[in-house]
């Protein structure tokens, strides 16, 4: 059962238990990375047998496989995938940045080029659940950014296939090539390249502790989006809210995994007690009851605050992945929100709306990193290159100042470089 606290009874850093993850992962991942780097496809095929119980003869998903999977997915779901893709695309197109040029002084041109990454790798989890939403959320911003190639990896089932809904989402999102590989070994393949899987410039997409650790270890060789922690939701609700819908929103995160966290902040004791009972009632109806129960019992909390303003202040200290503000005037509180991955406003905006359909991204900073990180966006698939141009006359006007600055840092070669062209003229 969710624990009920007065705010004075709990410190903010204990509201979401943010742990480092299971021990013993680092060395195992290091060994996997080294082996894939040395043995390439051979290592991937062996790991598929060991970890996925899949006997693969090839790693790449063929176009025939993709077409067959697309045909196997119900038309209703394909239509929903297309609508979601349209919404995601419409939202993320507003994130496109333009290059710029500054030419405000004679003889001087400064500027910045915004350049899409050449090739990005998308990791899509497999196992007990399939997440076509993750395909759309990670691939479409890369497509909008203009990346030349999007490569996807996903662990195969024991039959050696990838779930049809995953392949259908990949086709809709415009993923270029798809490979049957999962876990740390797939991250290694994307980072170093193998005979079949090309090396990429950046890796995005969620995964388990082994995937997260693999991304940490290859960072620097490739870029990564972030190290994802367990999912978390913080709901701020007043006494006018429905206990049934608040409980449903809390459980929508609790069913993710046993380490997920669901927390309610409210200024209403009656709502707190009603939600507590409603969570217990709804838990009994969930297919993933065992997972949600473990999450609620270990990490579920209801905290009584003096006001919704106080609740937002506490939320800012926590910096939750998902923040719901459930009241009749949520925009009055939005300006007070400083740290949250994604904010859902009002009584009719469940977090699931953002997970699947609204268009905002569901790949979000976790574990308090919303204090300094942002949701996945088009920005994550571009880089910037700056440029400078000075004429001879423009350089002559500032070269002595540059040289003097360099001398203050003890860098005489820098100083000489600044004045060398004038010396050449003399």
Beta bridge partners of 121: 151, 203
Active site residue 321: yes
Residue written as token pair 């909390």: 301
CA–CA gap between residue 245 and residue 12 (Å, rounded): 25
Beta bridge partners of 112: 100, 386
With beta carbons less than 8 A apart as the criterion, state whether 344 and 260 touch: no
Of 324, 227, 193, 205, which is closest to residue 266 (Cα–Cα)? 324
Active-site entry in 322, 324, 351, 399? 322
- For residue 424, give both structure tokens: 């050449």
Question: In Å, how far from its chain's centre is CA 338?
Answer: 19
Residues 6+ positions from 243 with CB-CB distance below 8 Å: 271, 274, 275, 277, 278
> H/E element holding 297?
helix 289-299
Active site residue 409: no
Residues 94-110: b if buried by 16+ CB within 10 A, e if exposed: ebeeeeeeeeeeeebee
Active-site entry in 232, 255, 278, 321? 321
Of 136, 56, 38, 42, which is closest to residue 91 (Cα–Cα)? 136
Residues 6+ positions from 139 with CB-CB distance below 8 Å: 122, 150, 152, 170, 173, 174, 175
Return the active site residues. Answer: 321-322
């Amino acid at each position: 059962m969710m624990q009920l606290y007065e705010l004075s009874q709990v410190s903010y850093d204990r509201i979401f238990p943010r742990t480092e993850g299971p021990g013993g992962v680092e060395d195992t991942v290091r060994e996997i990375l080294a082996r894939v780097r040395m043995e390439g496809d051979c290592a991937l095929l062996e790991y598929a047998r060991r970890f996925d119980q899949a006997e693969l003869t090839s790693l790449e998903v063929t176009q025939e496989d993709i077409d067959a999977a697309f045909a196997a997915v119900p038309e209703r779901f394909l239509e929903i995938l297309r609508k979601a893709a349209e919404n995601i695309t419409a939202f993320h197109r507003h994130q496109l940045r333009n290059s710029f040029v500054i030419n405000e002084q004679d003889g001087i041109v400064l500027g910045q080029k915004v350049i899409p990454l050449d090739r990005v790798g998308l990791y899509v989890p497999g196992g007990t659940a399939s997440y076509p939403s993750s395909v759309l959320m990670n691939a479409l911003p890369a497509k909008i950014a203009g990346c030349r190639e999007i490569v996807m990896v996903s662990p195969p089932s024991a039959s050696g296939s990838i779930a049809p809904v995953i392949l259908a989402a990949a086709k809709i999102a415009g993923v270029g090539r798809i490979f049957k590989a999962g876990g740390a070994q797939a991250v290694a393949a994307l980072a170093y390249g193998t005979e079949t899987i090309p090396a990429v410039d950046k890796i995005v997409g969620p995964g388990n502790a082994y995937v997260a650790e693999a991304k940490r270890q290859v960072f620097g060789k490739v870029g990564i989006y972030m190290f994802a922690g367990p999912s978390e939701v913080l709901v701020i609700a007043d006494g006018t809210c429905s206990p049934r819908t608040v409980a449903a929103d809390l459980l929508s995160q609790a069913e993710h995994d046993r380490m997920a966290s669901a927390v309610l902040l409210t200024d209403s004791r009656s709502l707190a007690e009603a939600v507590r009972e409603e969570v217990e009632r709804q838990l009994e109806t969930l297919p993933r009851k065992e997972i949600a129960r473990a999450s609620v019992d270990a990490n579920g909390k209801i905290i009584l605050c003096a006001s919704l303003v106080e609740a937002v202040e506490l939320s800012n200290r926590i910096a939750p992945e998902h923040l719901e503000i459930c009241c009749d005037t949520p925009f009055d509180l939005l300006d007070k929100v400083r740290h949250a991955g994604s904010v859902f406003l009002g009584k009719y905006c469940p977090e699931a709306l953002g997970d699947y359909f609204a268009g905002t991204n569901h790949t979000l900073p976790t574990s308090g990193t919303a204090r300094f990180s942002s949701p996945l966006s088009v920005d994550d698939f571009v880089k910037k290159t700056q440029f400078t141009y000075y004429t001879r006359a423009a350089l002559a006007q500032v070269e002595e100042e540059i040289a003097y600055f360099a001398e203050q840092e003890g860098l005489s070669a820098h100083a000489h470089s600044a004045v060398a062209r004038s010396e050449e003229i003399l």
